[in-house]
Every structure is written in structure tokens, then in C-alpha cells.
Structure 1
Amino acid sequence: METRTLGKDLTVTAIGLGCMGFSHGYGKPTDVDEAVKTIRAAYDMGYRFFDTAEIYQGTNPDGSINYNEELVGKALHDVRDQVVIATKFGIAAHEGTGIKVDSSPKTIRKSVEGSLKRLNTDHIDLYYQHRIDPNVEPETVAKVMQELMDEGKITHWGISEANEDYLRRANAVCKVTAVQNRYSMMYREYEALFPVLEELNIGLVAFSPLANGLLTGQIKQSSFSDKDLRNKMPQFTPEALEKNKELLALLDKIAADHDATPAQISLAWMVNKKPYIVPIPGSRHLNRIEDNLKAAQIKMTPEEVAQIDKALDAVPMSEVFGGTKIEK
């Protein structure tokens, strides 16, 4: 499996597995045993980079909490030294249409202890601030990250949905290894951050690289289960699905040229664009998990990537979900 380096020295597979959907966001959680089995199967097929967070949780049929970190910990415990596990702190709760954030030093320390316990590990390989807390300075967060590194509880840290100013200030106190930002063919705003990432030698871990599944080309109508977050996402309205047909036709054409699927092309496009981009698509289905991993084998020239960018600039597409607002 192709690998790449985030930051100075964190080696990961070129494509990682986003584990959120087993517990959170896409309807009822996957059965615990089935989820553990699937995550372990992903390891067996070649994945070595797994992403979770303390806030990813759902409710099992018996009323118990389905903690995503526990699933990851159970699946990978006996191969712990062969994988990179990323988790996150800083989202305290979901509140209505927004989220409540808390990155105070006291909360960070409580969070890291909880994550270590749920993951059944003595260290976290990549610890992200899940969202920026407007009430806590980046220097304060970075200072705590350095302390956790000195204590051996984490080895690298990153920031999710980072902007340039926050990233520079945090990085000046404690070296940032990666940002985890929303990035896909439909959401390219963070390309403006590429020069900063290159200057500071910081990797980009791309979440929602398939626009929450739209870029697979498999979603023809919005008929999701209850409590599926996609019910409220703008790219899945009937009008949006109609508007995005030309985009999906473009993907189908490129996929045919490479004997690949639209999802694989969506991932290969970003993997071939920059050597420091690592997408982390999520799925509950082993066939899709395997297909996603194979996207790293698809080679595109810089000229082809540029041609795709140009086509994306011209093709009509709907609005796409850009994140949940932070409650002040």
C-alpha cells in the first residue's frame, strides 16, 4: 500500500478510513461486533490510518452508548503498533443546528484521558482540535499539546477546519502535523491554504472527500433513514440531485478512462494533486472500503489533474454541506 508522510515524520497509508459512520451521523449505529469486524477487515486489506473522535457516538438497541473510539480500540488493539490512530477533542455537544465547543486546558486533559481509555491505548498518534474554540487562544491549545507530547500521551497534533491565522499562531508554539479540513471536488475552498501548508510542512487530511457520498454516483434520490445527517444537506435535495447530473456525468467519463469508479476518481484526483493530501472516506460496506483503498493506485499526470480542475470550475453543481455552525 502506498504511504505518505504528514508533517515531519508521521507515515500513513495514502488513504485512511473514516470510522465515524459506524456510530454517528448516518442513522442507527452498526452492530458493535459487526463494526469491529469491519474495521479489522479494513486493516487486513491494507488500511493503516484510522480516524475517530470522542464526540462520535450513538445509541445501541439496548440503550447503551456506542462509542466510536471503543470500536476502533477493540478492532486494532493487537496490531496497535502497526497503525496510526487519529482522534479529536473540542466538541462538547451538538445543540440543535449547531455545536458547542470547549478547548479549555482542563477539558482537553479530561478528553485525552477519556480517549486513551476508550481506545485502550497508551498514546494517540494524531490528536486533533476538532473545531476552533473562539474563547481559547491557539497558543493556549498548542501549549497543552506540547505538554501532552512531553508526557507521551500524544505523538502528533492537528487542527480540524483550520484557517491560516490560527494555524500559524498554533504552529509557532507546537509544530502542527496536519489539518483535517473538508475537501472534495464540490468543496475546494481550502485550496487557498495549500501555500501555507507547503511553507510550514503540514499535511492535509481530507474529510468528506466524497461529499458525504454524492460523488460515488450511487445516490439517485434522497431517501435516507431517520437521524441521517444527509437529510439536511443541500446536495441531496431533489433539485440539487438534478443539478448535479452533469458533474456526475463528468466523473463517469473520467472513471471510464481509468477503468475505475466515480468514487475512486474523486479520491485519486486529490491524492495525485498534492503529495501531502490524505483523504479519509468512510463506509460501513467492505466492498466500498476496498474500492476506496484501490484509488491510491490510480495515477494521474499533473496535466490531467489540472484539466479536471478546469472542468470542475465550469460544470454546474449545487451547494454542498459546509459544516455546522459553532454556538457562541
Structure 2
Amino acid sequence: MHTRTIGPFTVSALGLGCMSMSWGYGAADDATSERLLQEALDAGYTFLDTAAMYGMGHNESLIGRALGHRRGEFTLASKCGIARGEDGNLSVNGRPEVLRRTCEQSLRNLQTEVIDLYYLHRLDPQVPVEESVGVLARLVDEGKVRSIGLSEVSSETLRRAHAVHPITAVQSEYSLWARTPERRMLATCRELGVGFVPFSPLGRGFLTGRAQDITHLEEGDIRTNVCRPRFEPDNFATNQRLLQPFGEIAAEQGCSMAQMALAWVLEREEGTLVPIPGTKHPEYMRENAAAGNIRLDAAVVARLDGLINDRTVKGERYNAQLMASIDSEKD
């Protein structure tokens, strides 16, 4: 797999999102996940993405257990800022003491002395971003974190954070069917020299052609609740009509739909983005890795742009409550 740069790091053009091995898309098997992680490094992945909230420490512990002895072979990203409160419920919490405590626990779980890229997972509306980034900057000074990132923030928040401490990367959902970063964030990242890391570049499985509507998804799958709107039966039926022409274009290119969706992301922003498709299936990990070798010409990219975009897809990407809580662009 060819490489790209994110701040000071040289990483594989495709990273590996690790969330689904612990949380989000139904049950996963630890033995299979540990094998997948080993095989991912062997396949050329050198950028792994996790978070404290993925299984409430389970995902980080899984990575530490499986890859602690190979720590020097990959760039490690994790996230803080979503914590379990005294009532047992998860909530956004950007208070400095909570972020520091989360980091200390993550280092233990990951069996590492330093996290390469540490994101603020979500902006806490009760805590100025300057305070949250300030404690992350102190963690950098202490050698516990190498660089700082932000996840799902607006351009205004990025600018405020960047004024406190250089931000290495912003992570947000971006794919053919999730184009919000094109409104402003991608341009702001270019201006400030900040890397951009698309998560869910396969549209939460939709762009693979394998996803089903919520009536067929297993318990614990986030597409049945927080990511529900586009997988509601009526919306899904409308969206699914896009897949036949999408599949025909993939066949013309001699690749799978998943590979073409990833190749589209890899072409954006003059080839500077590092998408992090996630999976708990070793065979899909290998399939995704091959997307790095696919090149789409301008005419194919234009056809894909016109076929699947914010205007042709029906439904919001999150439920109303979560959409309201995201630090989004003001216009």
C-alpha cells in the first residue's frame, strides 16, 4: 500500500478503523479480531484508529493485547471526550481532568507509553475548546501524546483550537453519501495545513452493497438507532436504487463497490486524505486494502459525484438528537 502524510507521520494511504471489533455493528469475536489486527499490519496498514469509548476500553485493550509487541510498526490514533457519567450513561465530557484521566487509562489499555494522534472525540458545549485542547497540549509536553486531533467539529472550532496548539488532523464522516466536509472543512484544513481523516468512507456499509435496512440488522447495531434515518425501510429502499448503477460503474472499473467507494475518497483533495474504513471481517480488510491500487479517471469521478451525493440520498446521517449535538458549520 502506498503512503501519505498526516502531520509528522507517514502512514498507509488507508487506515484501519477498529471500532466494530468492539462496538457499533453487533457482536464481534476477539480471537478473530486479534487475527485481523495482526494480518492488517502484514497487509500494509500502518495507521490504526480507536477510541476510549469503543467498548469502554475494550477496543484499546484488544489492540494493546494483540499488537503491543509490534507497537513500532504503526501510527496509533485514539480519542477522548466521551465518558460514562455517575448515572452510567455516556455523554460528551471535555473537562480537562476527565480528558487527562481518560488518557492515562488509554495508555494502560493500549500497553504503550505514547499515543501518536489523540483526538478530542466530540466538542463539549459546556467547555470552551481552548480548555480541552489546552490539557491535550500539556499531555504533548509530558510525552504522553505526540499530536492532537479533533473529531466532528466545525471550521470555526478548528481555528480556535489551532490557535491554542497546532492541530494535526480533523476526523469527520466523509464519503460519496456524506459530503458535509466539502462545504468548508476541507478548505479550512488546506489553509491551515491540517490533515483530514474520513471515517465511515463506505457509508456505514451501504456503499459496499451488503448493508440491509433496520428490520434485518442485529441488536446492538448503531444503524438501528443513532444512524437510523438512512436505514429506515422507506429511505433505504429509495437509497438502494442508487446501487445498481453504482455497481455497474464498479464492474466497468474491474473492482468491487467497496473498493470503488474508497478509491473515490482517495482521489479527493489531490490525494491527501487518509480514510479509515472499519471492519471486523479479515476478508473485508484485505478487500479494502486493494483499493489503494485503483485509480479513477476524472470522467468516472464525475459520474460518481452525480450519482450519489447529499441531494440524491434520502435521510439524515444521524438521528435528530445526535445531529443537534454535533458542532456543525453555522451556514
Q: Same fold (TM over 0.5)?
A: yes
2:190 corresponds, among 167, 188, 198, to 198
Does structure 2 conserve the Cα–Cα contact (< 8 Å) formed by 1:272 and 1:302? no
What SS does structure 2 have at the residue aligned with 1:278? coil
Alignment of 1:40-59 (within 5 A): 40-57=38-55
2:170 corresponds, among 179, 187, 204, to 179
User: Once the 2 structures are TM-superposed, how far is the Cα of residue 95 of structure 1 from its aligned partner?
Assistant: 11
Distance 1:267 1:95 in 2: 40
Alignment of 1:5-154 (within 5 A): 5-7=5-7, 9-28=8-27, 30-57=28-55, 67-93=58-84, 100-154=91-145
Match of 1:63 in 2: none
Residue 166 of structure 2 corresponds to residue 168 of structure 1: no
Aligned CA RMSD, in angstroms, stands at: 2.2
What SS does structure 2 have at the residue aligned with 1:103? coil
**What is the total number of aligned residue pairs between the two structures?**
317
What SS does structure 2 have at the residue aligned with 1:136? coil
Distance 2:141 2:299 in 1: 44
Residue 235 of structure 2 corresponds to residue 236 of structure 1: no
2:312 corresponds, among 304, 311, 316, to 316
The one-letter code matched in structure 2 to 1:231 is T
**Per the alignment, do residues 164 and 316 of structure 1 end up closer, same or farther by CA in structure 2, a change over 3 Å counting?**
closer
Match of 1:61 in 2: none
What SS does structure 2 have at the residue aligned with 1:126? strand
**Per the alignment, do residues 78 and 300 of structure 1 end up closer, same or farther by CA in structure 2, a change over 3 Å counting?**
same
Match of 1:280 in 2: 276
Give unpaired runs (5+ residues) of structure 1: 59-65
Match of 1:212 in 2: 204
The one-letter code matched in structure 2 to 1:202 is V
**Per the alignment, do residues 281 and 313 of structure 1 end up closer, same or farther by CA in structure 2, a change over 3 Å counting?**
closer
Bigger drift between 245-254 and 177-186 goes to: 245-254
Distance 1:221 1:322 in 2: 15
Q: What is the aligned-residue identity percentage? A: 38
Does structure 2 conserve the Cα–Cα contact (< 8 Å) formed by 1:246 and 1:316? no
Residue 9 of structure 2 corresponds to residue 3 of structure 1: no
What SS does structure 2 have at the residue aligned with 1:280? coil
Match of 1:245 in 2: 240
Give unpaired runs (5+ residues) of structure 2: 327-331
Match of 2:150 in 1: 159
Residue 245 of structure 2 corresponds to residue 254 of structure 1: no
Does structure 2 conserve the Cα–Cα contact (< 8 Å) formed by 1:86 and 1:125? yes
What SS does structure 1 have at the residue aligned with 2:274? strand
User: Once the 2 structures are TM-superposed, how far is the Cα of residue 221 of structure 1 from its aligned partner?
Assistant: 4.6
Per-residue Cα deviation, 1:50-85 (whole angstroms, up to 9, x for no partner): 111111117xxxxxxx71101111221121111011
Distance 1:246 1:31 in 2: 33
Match of 1:299 in 2: 295
**Per the alignment, do residues 273 and 54 of structure 1 end up closer, same or farther by CA in structure 2, a change over 3 Å counting?**
same
Bigger drift between 87-96 and 117-126 goes to: 87-96
Distance 1:115 1:102 in 2: 16
**Per the alignment, do residues 94 and 41 of structure 1 end up closer, same or farther by CA in structure 2, a change over 3 Å counting?**
farther
Does structure 2 conserve the Cα–Cα contact (< 8 Å) formed by 1:54 and 1:111? yes
Does structure 1 conserve the Cα–Cα contact (< 8 Å) formed by 2:68 and 2:111? yes
The one-letter code matched in structure 2 to 1:102 is N
**Per the alignment, do residues 17 and 314 of structure 1 end up closer, same or farther by CA in structure 2, a change over 3 Å counting?**
closer
The one-letter code matched in structure 2 to 1:181 is S
Does structure 1 conserve the Cα–Cα contact (< 8 Å) formed by 2:117 and 2:148? yes
TM norm structure 1: 0.90
Bigger drift between 122-131 and 101-110 goes to: 101-110
User: Once the 2 structures are TM-superposed, how far is the Cα of residue 167 of structure 1 from its aligned partner?
Assistant: 0.2
Distance 2:234 2:191 in 1: 41
What SS does structure 1 have at the residue aligned with 2:118? strand
Bigger drift between 258-267 and 293-302 goes to: 293-302
Does structure 1 conserve the Cα–Cα contact (< 8 Å) formed by 2:262 and 2:288? yes
Does structure 2 conserve the Cα–Cα contact (< 8 Å) formed by 1:99 and 1:326? no
